[in-house]
Amino acid sequence: MSVLVEVARRLTARADARLVVANLVGVGLGLVSAALQARALGPTGRGEIAVAIAPATVIAILMGFGLPDYFGRRSAQGADRRVLASVSGVLALVSGLVCALPYLFFVGFQTDPGTVSRVLLIVYAAVSPVVVYGSCTSAVAAGHGAWRGVVLARFLPQLVTVAGLVVLIAVGPSPLSVGLLLIATTLLGSLLPGVLGGALPTGRATIAEAVAAVRFGLRGWPAGSVALLNQRIDLLLLSVLATSYDLGLYAVATTLAATLNGVSVSIAIPLRNRIVRGERDIVPGASTAVLGLLLVAGGVVAAALPLLIPLVLGADFLPAQGAMTVLLLAQAPLGAVIVLTQSLIAVGRPGAPLVGEALALVVTVVLVLVAYPAYGIVAAALANLAGNLVSWSVLVHLARRHVTRAPVLSFVVPSRWSIAALRES
């Protein structure tokens, strides 16, 4: 027993281990949340929420203009957290003001007057500057190594969501009430790391820091924006092309698959801090370790779907099984992309992936537009997989060019060095 306690103590002393454990808890809670939403609202009700939440989530990230990458890197270099938080607040407010009018035009295009989707999209638009600020201060906390809030943010919002859903189901759920709950827990998750990590806006914001942040952020923002769109464009296109029923099925499939994403993020962020300090050789092994780990995890979950879907989500969601399987497997190359992208940010090359990510985006868009009308949501999932594979190929080339001159196979085939790199990171 004492040996087990000692092993547990050593594991939880490591940031990546704590993040992985927290993500596993978050995955479990996320699955419970998805099941409760699916059973309470059905595919059509879930689709109403997705029409608003899916694009709003992407827009909030785009409104960050690459700033979280700058603040995470600066914090890892030892900059004052309070000053960085103050600059984050000022720039988040500026972002909200700049984006307000275009956002209003988008609301009118995306949703119809008087619908639940329009209300949710307007509410999310109003709080998006706060989400941007929270993303920046979360990056500051992670860069500084203040992991408590980062770890809690991996599962506490999901726990609050589950508790809120239980209450809503007891009193009578609706797409509006569930959507507002999801927005509230998004705010909680974005603000928690900064608050608990000491990244509070009590320092004096400087023009020099703000200018440096904007310059760095805008260098990487085009590539980051295209990469983000490449990851979400399938769902965004379906929010326009698909019926509420198909969109509800695909939104649940996307939610299930995305639960695996937390593993790669848990490894990539601590890894980025080490690369900033000069440790570049661990990148190939860490990326292939994530690739192999997510392939195995995705395969196991996909094999269990025939039992899990009726048991957890309900028989109404069985038509989503094919899309779920493809999207689960698509998380493996995406996980490697996340690790390699963070390594490029760490070495000061945030804009490097732009051309490749644009190519991947074109591939995904064309495949969705051509194949979805004939083959349905499975075709959209295959388009997502194709885009992730293109992104991965490009990122391997860029990592070899800018981070470390390791052989191509070391970025592709997991080996004993992968396990060693994972243990070290």
Two structure tokens written together for 220: 């990487």
* Interacting residues of 213 by C-beta distance below 8 A, sequence separation 6+: 67, 70, 71, 74, 87, 91
Helices 67-76 and 207-241 cross at an angle (nearest 10°) of: 140
Answer yes or no: is pLDDT of 121 > 80.
Answer: yes
* Per-residue pLDDT, 128: 95
Q: Is 321:306 a contact under the CB 8 Å cutoff?
A: yes
Higher pLDDT, 4 or 315: 315
DSSP 8-class letter at 405 = -
Q: Tell me the percentage of the chain whose pLDDT exceeds 90.
A: 40
Measured distance CA(373)–CA(392) in Å, rounded: 27
**To the nearest 5 percent, what fractions of the chain are helix, strand and coil?**
85, 0, 15
48-52, 56-60, 221-225: which has the minimum mean pLDDT?
221-225
CA 14 to chain centre: 22
Can you give the pLDDT at residue 392?
A: 92
pLDDT average, residue stretch 64-93: 92
Q: Is the pLDDT of residue 4 over 50?
A: no
Once rounded to an integer, what is the mean pLDDT over residues 356-363? 86
- Joined tokens for residue 195: 């608050």
- Residue tagged 């500084």 (tokens): 144
The pLDDT assigned to 16 comes to 60
Cβ neighbourhood burial of 1 (10 Å; 0-12, 13-18, 19+): exposed
Q: What is the pTM of this model?
A: 0.72
> Which pLDDT value is given to residue 5?
42
Predicted pLDDT of residue 6: 45
Measured CA to CA, the distance from residue 140 to residue 62 in angstroms comes to: 18
pLDDT of residue 11: 42
Distances (CA, A) of 264 to 19, 204, 272: 10, 34, 12
More confidently predicted of 273 and 85 = 85
> Is residue 205's pLDDT more than 80?
yes
Task: Report yes or no: 410 and 403 within 8 Å, Cβ to Cβ.
Answer: no
Please give the pLDDT value at position 34: 82
Task: Read off the tokens for 367.
Answer: 């495949």
Average pLDDT over residues 289-303: 90
Percent of the chain scored above 70 by pLDDT?
Answer: 93
- Sign of the four-CA dihedral 148, 344, 69, 78: positive
Of the candidates 112, 111, 138, the residue with the CA atom closest to the CA atom of residue 200: 138
375-390 per-position pLDDT tens digit:
999 999 999 999 999 9
Q: Is the per-residue pLDDT at 9 higher than 70?
A: no
8-state DSSP, 205: P
Work out the end-to-end distance of the chain between its first and last CA atoms, rounded to an integer number of angstroms: 27
What is the rounded CA–CA span in Å between residue 228 and residue 217? 15
Flag whether pLDDT at 150 surpasses 50.
yes
For the stretch 227-286, pLDDT in tens is 777 777 888 888 888 888 888 889 888 888 887 877 777 777 777 777 877 778 878 888
Residue 8: the pLDDT is: 42
Q: Which residues of 167-203 are buried (b: 16+ CB within 10 A; e: fewer)?
A: ebeeeebebbbbbbbbbbbbebbbbbbbebbbbebeb
Token reading at 194: 């900064």
Average of per-residue pLDDT values in the chain: 85
Question: Is it the case that residue 315 has pLDDT exceeding 90?
Answer: no
Q: What does the block give as tokens for 313?
A: 């989500």
Select the more confidently predicted residue: 252 or 195: 195
Residue 1's pLDDT is 44
Q: Distance (Å, rounded) from C-alpha 290 to C-alpha 243?
A: 35
- Where would I find the beta strands (DSSP E) of 292-392? none
pLDDT at 235: 85
**pLDDT-wise least confident of 113-127, 203-217, 277-291, 324-338:** 277-291
CA dist 249 and 257 (Å) reads 13
Mind listing the pLDDT tens digit for each residue in 388-423?
Answer: 999 899 889 888 888 888 888 878 877 665 555 555
Max Cα distance, the chain (Å): 63
> Which has more pLDDT, 315 or 132?
132
